[in-house]
């Protein structure tokens, strides 16, 4: 605790200076830089070419997909085994490349016209789209270089000054877009990180570039797949280029051209085709989640559950943080605090609550602790350079750490989840897996965010799935491999249920295993704003299930800040309130009666929209599109969307404009060009390409539906277990034509992969709505009503399948016409004004 207080008291500028000095040390350590040189020999292969350069480096330039180019450069001239933690293992596609050589160039093209032009002297790569436009190209003045002493490797890509960049995973940058900033990938436990601090917990070296040319938005994506420390200088040092490099290993990167369209959607599709998509989460994980460091003992946990139900605030999940354990030993319980966990969990379950447990990587060194003993006997712990068991201090005291890069250690660690699964635990939360460890008394101070001793020594050894190497090389995948161990063991041990895993650290591809939260944020208005851009950037980095601690982890939000944060997060993918030990209560009912009502309304809104949110998650599994989307993702031709950092889309059809400024009850909203929008609450119409001042009283989240969309909703339920019993209501945003569809399945298990799902397509036209259903999902939820939004005048006769509907309810103030439907499945509604 002491450490924390001192840190908070320190002045920010000094901290930044010290941090900067620390980060510079490795860069200036040595210098034996060498240029990659000219192309000496060319070897053709089916999907591209392998080049030998005059420096001795070897390069493979291949098509990974029709619109994805891969460049792999081994400074040593020898490629390593082609293995990646980021790439989802599945059958490689065979993508044929057409190769043409001239004295100056080598040209590769894929079937649909994507082309790579390789200059021979010196070796330079330019990628062109099917229309012949340059996607991205090496900077003539800065060819690829590598350092023969340190193993570092760097490249530079030319950048158009007006190009903007997004993604790079979890970044707390000063602005939403990444332009003119320099980022480092090195997973770090950064309690209370101020805006601008970098790196933090995750390492995802993928970004999306966007620029407007001839009236259209052109996107591309670039992913550097290198697990060692990497950097991305997005024009900070030199505005004319992107400067990207790694501390060691191969320069191994992919360019996603976005196809002929050059659409962000296509870039994300191809990036997630490579690194995988998040599986459909269990429905309960989309519910409201309540956490705290920590709820204990058992009576307190029961009280939390009871209070939610008493106050009629919907919730699905309660988290148990580190204090449930016996002396912080993972896979144990403190029996004085939790005498009968299985009983507690089943009682909570009867009230509609699931329990998620935190599981940290550190295993207490204690000869009487079975997990330690078995881990030691099995040789599952990370070793020092000298081959001894690596020890470092975390919550339990001195710990050993499973080598999650070793498949045997993953299986071994994973097997302990069985006990908790048998107790009925629903999901697991992996923390401290950067890995983060504590500084000891003897560690040289000051205690900086990026103190090198807050993780394993760089020369510690990892098995790395058959490619053994140092911690310097595998640090950034440690957390992701822990989440993988958790996910895979849950899949194996409880095959009928969808795992739920939450991780703090990760690497590209983490979405295949886990949800991600943005770590130890702060109860401030600025952090509320920051959470929006952080989640958006994570989403376009391929990770859909993301959230920030609502209300801020560190510190105490005012009731107003908590209420506004809850609203801003209510439609974010992963929705959880969490706060640190010393903070005041952060439950939505703990800010006084007036705010309990406000917060209830917010959470009810999320539950109303769960059928829609679930549909958007399903869309992610098919296309890789984020759930929470920046405006530019759908409107790349509208350059006003490029800087929109305090509004977001959920799926394609909902626009959210949270209030992120203190003491305000209105805000300006920008409506992207190309669609018109209806105010969710008033039904008022706003044209695309315009701004408007929107009323936002304390109990209201500014929310808009895209004209032409049909959005599935349900009545308020107290938890997702009640959903299947409730009928659906469709909200049809009238005033233009459009087709939407929504997805339903059991919300759990894997029957949906065997056809047990249903997709309903809704075609909205002036005066008419048509519904068609496809799929064999048996537990069909009836459709109770359609709410037409944006109706200005009272209707004449509304008909369902030709028969008049009794008493459609029209409310002029909210421009809503509610049409109750008969029990039989309706195919067509007509007569809507
Ligand atoms: O050293 O488990 O980010 O969410 O409550 C702090 C206690 C360890 C850090 C996590 C936070 C969690 C806390 N953990």
Tell me which residue has tokens 């480096």: 57
Q: Sorting pLDDT into bands at 50, 70 and 90, what band is 1?
A: very low
pLDDT at 441: 83
> Rounded to the nearest 10 degrees, how much is the dihedral formed by the CA atoms of 330, 332, 335, 338?
70
Q: Sorting pLDDT into bands at 50, 70 and 90, what band is 616?
A: very high
Per the structure block, which two tokens stand in for 68? 């994805």
At residue 355, the 3 state secondary structure works out as: strand
CA atoms within 13 A on the CB side of 818: 9
pLDDT at 90: 73
Q: Look at residues 157, 329, 120, 298 and name the one whose alpha carbon lies nearest to residue 233.
A: 157
Mean pLDDT within 758-775:
95
CA atoms within 13 A on the CB side of 283: 23
Determine what percent of the chain is predicted with pLDDT higher than 90.
Answer: 92
CA atoms within 13 A on the CB side of 687: 2
Q: Sorting pLDDT into bands at 50, 70 and 90, what band is 328?
A: very high
Interval between CA 598 and ligand 1 midpoint (Å): 28
pLDDT at 6: 34
Backbone angles phi, psi at 471, to 5 degrees: -60, -35
- Which atom of ligand 1 approaches the CA of 520 most closely? 3
Mean pLDDT within 280-289:
98
Cis status of the peptide bond prior to 166, with omega within 30 of 0: no
Tell me which residue has tokens 């940290």: 360
pLDDT at 189 over 60: yes
pLDDT at 455 over 70: yes
Give yes or no for a contact between 71 and 251, defined as CB atoms under 8 angstroms apart: yes
Interval between CA 172 and ligand 1 midpoint (Å): 18
Mean pLDDT within 614-629:
98
Please, which residues have CB within 8 angstroms of residue 28's CB and are 6 or more apart in sequence? none
pLDDT in tens, 730-756: 999 999 999 999 999 999 999 999 999
The Cα–Cα gap between 817 and 769 comes to 13
The 10 Å Cβ neighbour count of residue 782 is 12
Determine the distance from the C-alpha atom of residue 212 to the mean position of all C-alpha atoms in its chain, rounded to a whole number.
26
pLDDT at 577 over 50: yes
pLDDT at 47: 95
Give yes or no for a contact between 210 and 219, defined as CB atoms under 8 angstroms apart: yes
One DSSP character per residue, 477-488 reads: GHHHHHHHHHHH
Sheet (strand 515-517) strand order: 546-547, 515-517, 501-503, 427-430, 354-359, 317-320, 289-290, 576-577
pLDDT at 18: 45
CA distances to 231, 249, 363, 613 from 75, in Å: 18, 8, 39, 46
pTM, two decimal places: 0.96
Mean pLDDT within 290-311:
98
Mode of pairing for the β-strands spanning 685-686 and 654-656: unpaired
pLDDT at 75 over 70: yes
pLDDT in tens, 351-371: 999 999 999 999 999 999 999
Pocket test for ligand 1, best of 432, 436, 547, 548 (most atoms within 8 A of CB): 432
Per the structure block, which two tokens stand in for 831? 């007569």
Pocket test for ligand 1, best of 318, 321, 549 (most atoms within 8 A of CB): 321
More confident residue, 19 or 68: 68
- Which atom of ligand 1 approaches the CA of 580 most closely? 5
pLDDT at 17: 43
Q: In the structure, which protein residues have their CB atom closer than 6 angstroms to any atom of ligand 1?
A: 293, 321-322, 358, 431-432, 504, 519-520, 553, 578
Question: How many helices (H) does the chain have, and how many strands (E)?
Answer: 15, 53
pLDDT at 704: 99
At residue 628, the 3 state secondary structure works out as: strand
The Cα–Cα gap between 704 and 686 comes to 9
Tell me which residue has tokens 């996603």: 256
pLDDT at 779: 66
- Which atom of ligand 1 approaches the CA of 294 most closely? 5
Give yes or no for a contact between 313 and 352, defined as CB atoms under 8 angstroms apart: no
CA distances to 19, 168, 196, 521, 595 from 13, in Å: 10, 25, 11, 19, 37
Interval between CA 191 and ligand 1 midpoint (Å): 9
pLDDT at 195: 97
Give yes or no for a contact between 75 and 153, defined as CB atoms under 8 angstroms apart: yes
More confident residue, 11 or 39: 39
Lowest mean pLDDT among 97-111, 226-240, 442-456, 685-699: 442-456
pLDDT at 394 over 90: yes
For ligand 1, atom 6, which residue shows the shortest CA distance?
432
Give yes or no for a contact between 583 and 679, defined as CB atoms under 8 angstroms apart: no
Distance in angstroms between the alpha carbons of the first and the last residue of the chain: 63
Determine the distance from the C-alpha atom of residue 362 to the mean position of all C-alpha atoms in its chain, rounded to a whole number.
25
pLDDT in tens, 409-433: 999 999 999 999 999 999 999 999 9
Instruction: Tell me 554's DSSP state.
Output: B
pLDDT in tens, 487-519: 999 999 999 999 999 999 999 999 999 999 999
pLDDT at 533 over 50: yes
The Cα–Cα gap between 172 and 531 comes to 8
pLDDT at 806: 87
The Cα–Cα gap between 573 and 274 comes to 22
pLDDT at 677 over 60: yes
pLDDT in tens, 798-812: 999 999 998 899 999
Determine what percent of the chain is predicted with pLDDT higher than 70.
Answer: 96
Mean pLDDT within 522-548:
98
The Cα–Cα gap between 725 and 715 comes to 10
Interval between CA 5 and ligand 1 midpoint (Å): 16
The Cα–Cα gap between 237 and 167 comes to 19
pLDDT at 30: 61
Beta bridge partners of 589: none
Enumerate the H helices of 523-558 as residue ranges.
525-539
Instruction: Tell me 639's DSSP state.
Output: G
Pocket test for ligand 1, best of 520, 555, 576, 581 (most atoms within 8 A of CB): 520
- Which atom of ligand 1 approaches the CA of 360 most closely? 2
Interval between CA 522 and ligand 1 midpoint (Å): 13
pLDDT at 11: 37
For ligand 1, atom 8, which residue shows the shortest CA distance?
432
Interval between CA 113 and ligand 1 midpoint (Å): 50
The Cα–Cα gap between 587 and 577 comes to 7
Signed CA dihedral, 265, 267, 273, 278: sign only = negative
pLDDT at 55 over 80: yes
pLDDT at 446: 85
Residues carrying an active site annotation = 431, 434, 520
Give yes or no for a contact between 729 and 715, defined as CB atoms under 8 angstroms apart: yes
pLDDT in tens, 635-674: 999 999 999 999 999 999 999 999 999 999 999 999 999 9
Q: What Rg do the C-alpha atoms of the chain give, in angstroms?
A: 27
Mean pLDDT within 450-475:
97
pLDDT at 619 over 60: yes
pLDDT mean across residues, the chain: 95
For ligand 1, atom 13, which residue shows the shortest CA distance?
293
The Cα–Cα gap between 114 and 65 comes to 10
pLDDT at 92 over 90: no
More confident residue, 373 or 15: 373
Please, which residues have CB within 8 angstroms of residue 623's CB and are 6 or more apart in sequence? 265, 268, 269, 272
């Amino acid at each position: 605790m002491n450490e924390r207080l001192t840190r908070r008291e320190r002045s920010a500028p000094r901290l930044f200076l010290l941090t900067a000095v620390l980060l510079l040390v490795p860069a200036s350590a040595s210098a034996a830089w060498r240029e990659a040189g000219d192309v000496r020999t060319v070897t053709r292969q089916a999907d591209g070419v392998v080049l030998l350069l005059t420096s001795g480096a070897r390069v493979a330039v291949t098509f990974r997909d029709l619109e994805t180019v891969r460049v792999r450069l081994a400074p040593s001239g020898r490629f390593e085994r082609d293995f990646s933690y980021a790439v989802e293992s599945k059958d490689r596609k065979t993508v044929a490349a057409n190769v043409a050589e001239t004295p100056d160039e080598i040209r590769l093209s894929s079937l649909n016209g994507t082309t790579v032009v390789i200059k021979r002297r010196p070796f330079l790569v330019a990628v062109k789209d099917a229309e012949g436009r340059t996607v991205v190209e090496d900077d003539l003045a800065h060819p690829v270089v590598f350092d023969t002493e340190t193993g570092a490797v760097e490249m530079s890509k030319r950048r158009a000054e007006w190009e903007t960049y997004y993604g790079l995973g979890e970044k707390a940058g000063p602005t939403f877009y990444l332009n003119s900033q320099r980022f480092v990938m090195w997973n770090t436990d950064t309690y209370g990180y101020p805006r601008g601090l970098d790196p933090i917990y995750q390492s995802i070296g993928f970004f999306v570039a966007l620029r407007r040319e001839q009236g259209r938005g052109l996107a591309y994506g670039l992913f550097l797949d290198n697990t060692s420390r990497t950097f991305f200088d997005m024009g900070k040092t030199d505005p004319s280029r992107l400067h990207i490099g790694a501390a060691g290993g191969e320069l191994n990167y992919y360019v996603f051209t976005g196809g002929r369209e050059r659409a962000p959607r296509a870039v994300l599709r191809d990036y997630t085709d490579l690194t995988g998509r998040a599986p459909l989460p269990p429905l309960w994980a989309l519910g409201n989640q309540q956490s705290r460091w920590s709820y204990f003992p058992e009576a307190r946990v029961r009280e939390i559950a009871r209070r939610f139900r008493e106050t009629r605030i919907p919730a699905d999940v309660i988290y148990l943080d580190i204090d449930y354990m016996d002396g912080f030993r993972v896979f144990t319980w403190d029996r004085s605090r939790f005498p009968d966990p299985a009983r507690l969990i089943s009682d909570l379950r009867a009230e509609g609550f699931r329990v998620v447990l935190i599981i940290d990587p550190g295993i207490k060194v204690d000869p009487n602790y079975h997990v330690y003993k078995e881990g030691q006997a099995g040789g599952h712990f990370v070793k020092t350079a000298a081959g001894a068991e690596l020890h470092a201090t975390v919550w339990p005291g001195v710990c050993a750490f499973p080598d999650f890069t070793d498949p045997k250690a993953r299986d071994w660690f994973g097997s302990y989840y069985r006990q908790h699964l048998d107790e009925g635990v629903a999901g697991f939360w992996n923390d401290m897996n950067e890995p983060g460890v504590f500084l000891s008394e003897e560690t040289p101070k000051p205690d900086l965010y990026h103190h090198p001793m807050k993780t394993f020594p760089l020369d510690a050894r990892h098995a790395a799935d058959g490619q053994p190497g140092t911690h310097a090389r595998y640090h950034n995948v440690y957390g992701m491999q822990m989440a993988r161990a958790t996910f895979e063991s849950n899949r194996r041990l409880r095959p009928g249920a969808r795992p739920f895993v939450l991780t703090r650290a990760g690497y590209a591809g983490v979405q295949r295993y886990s949800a991600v939260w943005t770590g130890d944020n702060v109860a401030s208005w600025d952090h509320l704003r920051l959470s929006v851009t952080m989640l958006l950037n994570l989403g376009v980095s391929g990770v859909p299930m993301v959230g920030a601690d609502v209300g801020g982890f560190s510190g105490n939000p005012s009731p107003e800040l908590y209420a506004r944060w809850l609203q801003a997060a209510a439609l974010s993918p992963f929705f959880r309130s969490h706060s640190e030990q010393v903070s005041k209560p952060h439950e939505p009912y703990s800010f006084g009666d007036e705010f309990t009502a406000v917060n209830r309304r917010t959470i009810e809104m999320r539950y109303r929209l769960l059928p829609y949110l679930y549909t958007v998650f399903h869309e992610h599994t098919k296309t890789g599109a984020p759930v929470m989307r920046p405006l530019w993702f759908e409107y790349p031709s509208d350059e006003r969307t490029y800087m929109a950092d305090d509004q977001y889309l959920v799926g394609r059809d909902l626009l959210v404009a949270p209030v992120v400024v203190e003491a305000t009850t209105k805000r300006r909203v920008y409506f992207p060009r190309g669609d018109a929008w209806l105010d969710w609450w008033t039904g008022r119409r706003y044209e695309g390409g315009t701004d408007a001042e929107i009323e936002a009283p304390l109990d209201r989240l500014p929310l808009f539906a895209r004209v032409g969309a049909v959005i599935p909703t349900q009545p308020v339920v107290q938890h997702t277990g009640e959903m299947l019993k409730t009928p659906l209501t469709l909200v049809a945003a009238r005033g233009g034509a459009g087709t939407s569809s929504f997805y339903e399945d059991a919300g759990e298990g894997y029957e949906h992969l065997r056809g047990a799902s249903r997709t309903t397509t809704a075609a909205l036209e002036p005066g008419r709505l048509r519904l068609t259903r496809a799929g064999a999902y048996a537990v069909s939820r009836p459709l109770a009503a359609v709410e037409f939004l944006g109706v200005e005048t009272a209707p004449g006769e509304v008909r369902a399948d030709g028969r008049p509907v009794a008493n459609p309810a029209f409310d002029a103030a909210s421009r809503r016409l509610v049409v109750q439907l008969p029990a039989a499945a309706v195919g067509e509604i007509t007569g809507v004004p």
